[in-house]
Amino acid sequence: MPKCLECGFEAQRLQWTHFKYKCTGKFKNGKEYQAAYPGSEVVDEELSKKSKFTFALCIEKYGEEEGKIRWKSYQNRQAFSNTFKYKQEKYGWTREQFDEYNSSRAVTLKNMIKRHGEELGIIKWQEYCERQGYTNTKEYFIEKYGKDTGLKKYLEINRKKADWHDPRVISEKLGITLDDAVSVILDRVSSGRRFLSNLEEEFTYMLEVIIGPLEYVSARRPYGKWSHLLDSYVVYDIKHKNCIVEFNGDYWHANPKFYLPTASVRGNLAVDIWNSDMLKLKTAESFGFKTYVVWENDFLTNKQETVDKVAKWILQEQQ
C-alpha cells in the first residue's frame, strides 16, 4: 500500500483528507505533499470528490427504492472489508499486521503526538474529543437538521449503532454465521476500550513469562463466541490453543467463599451470576475448549503457585 513519506501512515489511497486532518499538519492537500515529495503516490482531490459514494448521490443516481438497497449493500461491504478475515483473505495479512494497521490509523493521543508533536498533538486530540463528543449529542442533530428531522435522525443513528453491536443483526445483514459476526464486532473493538484490572494484568504477565505470548487476551486482542445458552455473545479473558482461562474478580463474580447465593451484587443475585458464568464456560466446552477458572483471592494468597498451576495445566493440555 502507498505510504505517506511525511508521517509513515499507510493506506490504499492517500487523499487530501489525510494531509489536512491526520498528517503532521504541514500540508493541506495532496498537491502540497507532492511538491515536497515529487513522484509520490496520492489520489487527486477532484477525482476523490467525484468518486465518493454518499447516500444522497446513491438516491439521486438510482432512485429512492433501489438507492436505499444499494446504499445498504455498500455499507455492509465496507463493514466487512475492515475485518481481519477480509484482510487475511485479500492481502494475506497476519493478525499482527492487522493489529498494527488498526493501531496506526486510529485517532489516539499517542498517534496525534506522533504526527503533530507533543504540544500540537495534545491540542488536536482535545479538539477531536470535544468535536466527537458534540456530534453524538441530540443537540447537534437538532442544530444541524432542525428539531423534528434532527431528533428523528438522532434516534435512527443510535438504533443503527446498537444494531452493529448485535451479532444477530450482523449475521443476517452479511449472510455469515453468528460466530463470524462476533469476530466482526471484536475486530472493531479498540484495545484501549477494554478494561483489565491490575491483578489480571499481573497474572497475565506472569503466565506469559512461563509459556510465552498468549494467543488472545481480552484487553489487547479479545476472543469470543456466540452462546446459545445465554442468547448473547461472550468474551473470554484468555484463550490459548485449546484452553480458556477466566480470571474472576471476587466482587464482580461473587466469589462463593465470601457471598451467599442470595447476596445482591451489582443488582443481581450471586446465584444468578454463578449460573451465567457456568453457562459461559459450558459454551466454551461445547466448542471443544478446556476451561480453567482463577479466583482473585487464590491469586492474592499465593501468586506464583497459582500461575504455576495454570501454566502446567495449559502445557499438559497441549500434549
Point out which residues pair with 290 in neighbouring strands.
243
Whether 37 is covered by a domain: the verdict is no
Q: Give the whole-angstrom CA distance, residue 115 versus residue 221.
A: 25
Contact (CB, 8 A) for 317 and 241 = yes
Whether 88 is covered by a domain: the verdict is no
Whether 257 is covered by a domain: the verdict is yes
Whether 210 is covered by a domain: the verdict is yes
Whether 113 is covered by a domain: the verdict is no
Report the domain count for the chain.
1
Residues near 201 by beta carbon (within 8 Å), at least 6 away in sequence: 219
- Cα dihedral across residues 37, 41, 44, 45: positive or negative: negative
Q: What is the pTM of this model?
A: 0.53
Per-residue pLDDT reduced to its tens digit, 136-188: 788 888 888 888 888 888 777 766 666 667 888 888 877 888 888 888 888 76
Range of the domain at 253: 192-317
Secondary structure of residue 312 in the 3-state scheme: helix
Secondary structure of residue 22 in the 3-state scheme: helix
Whether 198 is covered by a domain: the verdict is yes
Regions of the chain short of the pLDDT cut 70: 1, 12, 21, 43-53, 103-107, 158-164, 188-196
- Which cell numbers in the block locate residue 141? 442533530
Whether 230 is covered by a domain: the verdict is yes
